[in-house]
Amino acid sequence: MMKRTTALLVAAAMTTASLTGCGGNAGNGGDESTNPEVKSSGGSSSDEMVFAWWGNQTRNERTQQVIDLYMEENPGVSIDGQPSQFADYWNKLATAAAGNALPDVIQMDYKYLDQYVENGLLLDLTPYVDNGILDVSDCNQDVIDSGKVDGQFYAVCIGISSPALVYSKTVAEQAGVEIKNNMNIEEFLDTCRKIYETTGYKTNIAYTDNEPFMEYLLRAKDVTLFEDGKMGGEAADYVEYFELYETGLKEEWLIDPAVFVERTKTTELNPLVYGTSPENMSWCTFHLTNQYSVLVGSAAEGNELGMLTWPSDNVKKSNYLKPSQFLAVSKDAKNPEEAVKFVNWFNNSVECNNILLAERGIPVSKSVSEAVSEKLPEPDQEAIAFVNEIVSPNSSKVNPPADAGASGVIDLLNQLEEQVCYGQITAQEAGTRLFEEGNQMMAK
Amino acid sequence: MRSKRLVFNIVYNLCVFAIGIAMIYPLLWMLASSFKESNTIFNTASSLIPKQATLENYINGWKGFGKVSFTTFFRNSLFISVTATFGTVMASSLVAYGFARFQFKGKKLLFTAMLLSMMLPAQVLMIPQYLWYQKLGWVGSYLPLIVPYFFAIQGFFVYLMSNFISGIPYELDEAAKIDGCSYFSLYRYIIFPLIKPALVTACIFSFIWRWDDFLSSLLYVSKTAMYPVSLALKLFCDPGAASDYGAMFAMATLSVLPVLVIFLIFQKHLVEGISTSGLKG
Amino acid sequence: MSARRANPHFRAELKKEGKKMNQIRRFANQKHTAGYVFTLPFIIGFFMFMVVPMGMSLYYSFCDYDILSPPVFSGLDNFRHMLTDDTFFQTLKVTFFFAFVSVPLKLLFALLVALLLLKNTRLSGFYRAAYYLPSIIGGSVAVSVLWKRMFSSDGVINSLLQMVGINCTVSWLGNTETAIWVLILLVVWQFGSSMLIFLSALKQVPASLYEAAKVDGAGPIYRFFKITLPLLTPTIFFNLVMQMISGFLAFTQCYIITEGRPLNSTLLYTVYMYQQSFEFYNTGYGAALAWVMLAIIGLITLVLFATKKFWVYEGGF
């Protein structure tokens, strides 16, 4: 009888009772019972350092090896590596920032640097450079400066790349066009026309990956795309970019924008390397050097690729060495010095970079980059040579990191570009709207 | 008469079979892709038969990331899905019984609250929920992925079951009540067995939803060794770099299997509805 | 009454019931308190896990909030901004169309298939599994890749059409007129959950009713419209409400396949909200969008509930 009574009362509360047991298990069960290795590798989680990055399987694999190596060399240091997929990474990072629970070492993108610094989420690394824990003496000063915001040093660049117009040598030969570095816009357009006329291959300008190329074109006119709280230059400056599409659309050598809705955004399905006919393929793609080897790997047999500078009427002004990724340390890092030591090792250790193999871009430290480069596969060596010999001597300093409002403007740019390509608005309208509406967004 | 029946049977099976094939085409495609060499998947996308079948994708994929293999990911997923499903089905059936059989002050309000909680896009609650669980000290554990379900917060299941309970003749309750049965015994021995189809349906749904959910584990689980399969699958692909699609498809195929098994086990119980469980008399 | 016979525990239960009750028990077993006792898990859960986050998000909707820095109260700014936001109206249009076309189609299909699969044959387990499969693999990357490939201008769908003599080279996803239909098709294809609910409800219809009707000489069509359909109306209603809600909250289909392209013709409301919250860091605006959606769905649900008394059979059987 009593039992029944209790049962009734517990009817509602049973859930409460059972959950404590279950919940408790859940918390610990995850890492204890299911993975002994992780448990044994670290001490208590409170002095464990967290290193978060985005990437694919190759990067995850190599980075984890590097972490293991570091822990082996530095007994007592424990690092938990946490990889995510790119979009998820920023979602997760932002949420963690809202809860003041950022990872200790953060892989940072140039695009987001300013926002994280402005909100005081990153540690100023200047003191560590001064006391020698962080050694950046072997690096290109311009590249190191790209990690500075308002004169303070927040993020260490861990890989360099540069814009590269990856193109199909095979198609170019077929069309009999002469292809060269440092083309100006008119020469580029002529090439597109000629290739379309002779081979039927179309051209993808920078559809959906537009902002770097827009910035590149503006730099030739000494205009900075994103200035502090506003768009640089004037409305007319923004029309040129859209005009390229308009011309291509009119002359029919522009690839059908539908192709980009039909395909998952992935290097393997880039119209340069994938397609069923010249009609839905492009002879070139606006990319960065660090993706070159992936493109080469994805190209069908008999489709030989090469690399050129992006076209511009003033390549020297337009071109730049691009910091492809950074490492930053969270303001809330439990042991900042340990975190900075790890960042330093990541950047300067040949042993470490022999495992990473320039997968994040060319190592910034000159001695490391030289030591590593021989070990790289052919296309990566080609990319390094391209950056060092073609881009480096003929380029200017990279633009400062963009303001918080920039992501909204980039979306607007996407929309306007789409409307131009679908023939809904003119290049003139698109340029004006981008400038005006963009200014409103940046002002907020 | 018999031949007419036979013809009908053949036509019926043909139709159902043909539509069925169209339904499982994607799974077949995924299965086929998982046996293709990773770099040929897109070039041979329209063909279901791999030119050269390979198991490499499965071997590569299963290795997982770092030191954590898919054995761990599958175990994690199973743990989360089973506990959360158990909690949500038990709690929801209790609450549903309360809603379906009793009149009490504030019931309408409570019911409306339940419906409303379903209408707010889940994505918008991500940040506040994260902050709240962080206050509770639950971030980094499985607690946010499990505990709430023991409180019947998924209105869908409560509503589903209360709908079913409403369909059960009230006379049964009254008879039992006259016999001196408590409400809990009534729930336990009359209602619970009779809503079996609904319970089974809820089990299937809940298990699948928990199994596929990666958004909450993305935010709350930080250690790779605690990742569920749904989240681990996303680590194969990154838009900016080479993705191992072969391994992804291989592991995605495997990840469907447990769900399929659960479905096949449970759907049998769907067949025995009320009509055969002795209510006829 | 036979339920007692069917359940051996029941008699043992009755014996125990004979003894006298104590106070707490009497309290819990009173008709009006028992309701609270049984719904207690939900009451606690709702306050613990829903009220707090919902309140916070409601507050954010009145704030200028970018996740990274603390929210700043800005009154009705977010809501005022909606009035001048063309994309907001565009997504509303797309979402209404999407929900009002896909939900009825899906339910109709689910009901038909459920009736088809009601027949018990040796293969029914396999059939049910096959028809349910699309719902299992739901929103994975595999589905996204596959659907894009199938509906591309040189994809399987166009090849099939060419086989039957229609020379079609439409890019289904690249065309503003057709892209939304691809998403609708995807939703209808995943009809499995509604189908299961219909199936389990169909199982609940007492066989005796059909037998009685058969004795009276009623044909299958008559039986369907006079017995099955009326008894199924509560389930149809339930599915309709649930699918409407999930239709308006649809996210994955758009997020993994089109991301709103081309020209925002497939931009679903929740995806726009998600972009605002997590991509453009206008989290306050995102929250405001969410609450407007809640109001819209709430209103639609209210209307549905108001029509309930005209067509839903509530008599039990």
- Sketch out chain A's domains with CATH numbers: 45-160+323-387 (3.40.190.10), 163-319+405-443 (3.40.190.10)
Q: Do A8 and C25 touch (CB under 8 A)?
A: yes
**Is residue C269 very low, low, confident or very high in pLDDT (cuts 50, 70, 90)?**
very high
pLDDT(C1) > 50: no
As assigned by CATH, the class of the C65-311 domain is mainly alpha
Beta carbons of C152 and A263 less than 8 angstroms apart: yes
**A217/C153: higher pLDDT:** A217
Among candidates A115, A262, A404 on the partner chain, residue whose Cβ is nearest the Cβ of C171: A262
Residue A81 phi, psi dihedral angles, 5° rounding: -85, 130
pLDDT mean over C100-126: 86
pLDDT(A310) > 60: yes
A131-142 pLDDT, tens digit each: 999 998 888 888
To the nearest whole number, what is the mean pLDDT of chain C? 84
Query: How high is the pLDDT of residue A373?
Result: 86
**C164/B66: higher pLDDT:** C164
pLDDT mean over B240-249: 77
pTM, to two decimals? 0.85
Distances (CA, A) of A264 to A420, B124, B168, B237, C212: 22, 26, 49, 11, 57
Q: Do C9 and B125 touch (CB under 8 A)?
A: no
Query: How high is the pLDDT of residue A44?
Result: 38
Chain B 153-192, residues with CB within 8 Å of chain A CB atoms: 182-185, 187
pLDDT(A315) > 80: yes
Q: Any idea which of A312-316, C83-87, C142-146 has the lowest mean pLDDT?
A: C142-146
Residue A106 in contact with partner chain B when CB distance is under 8 A: no
**A218/C159: higher pLDDT:** A218
Residue A259 in contact with partner chain C when CB distance is under 8 A: yes
Q: Any idea which of A50-59, A224-233, C165-174 has the lowest mean pLDDT?
A: C165-174
Identity of the amino acid at A64: Q
pLDDT mean over B131-146: 90
CA angle B268, B273, B274 (to 5 degrees): 160
A386-416 pLDDT, tens digit each: 998 999 889 998 998 888 788 889 989 999 9
Query: How high is the pLDDT of residue C290?
Result: 93
pLDDT mean over B29-40: 84
Q: Do A258 and C280 touch (CB under 8 A)?
A: no
CA trace torsion B72, B78, B81, B82 (10° rounding): -140
Query: How high is the pLDDT of residue B216?
Result: 84
**Is residue C317 very low, low, confident or very high in pLDDT (cuts 50, 70, 90)?**
very low
CATH number for the domain whose boundaries are B68-276 = 1.10.3720.10
Instruction: Count CB-CB contacts under 10 A for residue A338.
Output: 21
Residue A364 DSSP class: S
Query: How high is the pLDDT of residue A134?
Result: 92
Q: Is B44 helix (H, G, I), strand (E, B) or coil?
A: coil
pLDDT(B38) > 80: no
Task: Name the minimum distance, in Å, from the CA of C110 to any CA of chain A.
Answer: 28
**Is residue A34 very low, low, confident or very high in pLDDT (cuts 50, 70, 90)?**
very low
Q: Do B182 and A34 touch (CB under 8 A)?
A: no
Q: Which of C291, C48, C289 is nearest to B132 (CA)?
A: C48
Identity of the amino acid at A192: C
HEC readout, chain C: CHHHHHCHHHHHHHHHHCCCCCHHHHHHCCHHHHHHHHHHHHHHHHHHHHHHHHHHHHHHCCEECCCCCCCEECCCHHHHHHHCCHHHHHHHHHHHHHHHHHHHHHHHHHHHHHHHHHCCCCCHHHHHHHHHHHHHHCCCHHHHHHHHHHCCCCCHHHHHHHHCCCCCCCCCCCCCCCHHHHHHHHHHHCCHHHHHHHHHHHHHCCHHHHHHHHHCCCCHHHHHHHHHHHHHHHHHHHHHHHHHHHHHCCCHHHHHHCCCCCCCCCCCHHHHHHHHHHHCCCHHHHHHHHHHHHHHHHHHHHHHHHHHHHHCCCCCC
Of all residues in chain B, the percent with pLDDT exceeding 70 is 93
Distances (CA, A) of C298 to C97, C103, C248: 17, 17, 11
To the nearest whole number, what is the mean pLDDT of chain A? 84
Q: Any idea which of A18-32, A374-388, C219-233 has the lowest mean pLDDT?
A: A18-32
Packing angle of the helix pair A210-220, A406-421 (nearest 10 deg): 90
Report DSSP letters for B99-131, one per residue. HHH---TTHHHHHHHHHHHHHS-GGGGHHHHHH
Q: Is A208 helix (H, G, I), strand (E, B) or coil?
A: coil
Chain A residues whose beta carbon lies within 8 Å of the beta carbon of residue C24: 5, 9
Residue A227 DSSP class: E
**Is residue C25 very low, low, confident or very high in pLDDT (cuts 50, 70, 90)?**
low
Query: How high is the pLDDT of residue A294?
Result: 85
> Where along chain B do its domains lie?
2-54, 68-276
> Where along chain C do its domains lie?
1-53, 65-311
Q: Is it true that the peptide bond before C262 is cis, omega within 30 degrees of 0?
A: yes
The ipTM of this complex is 0.84
Q: Which of C282, C260, B44 is nearest to A407 (CA)?
A: C282
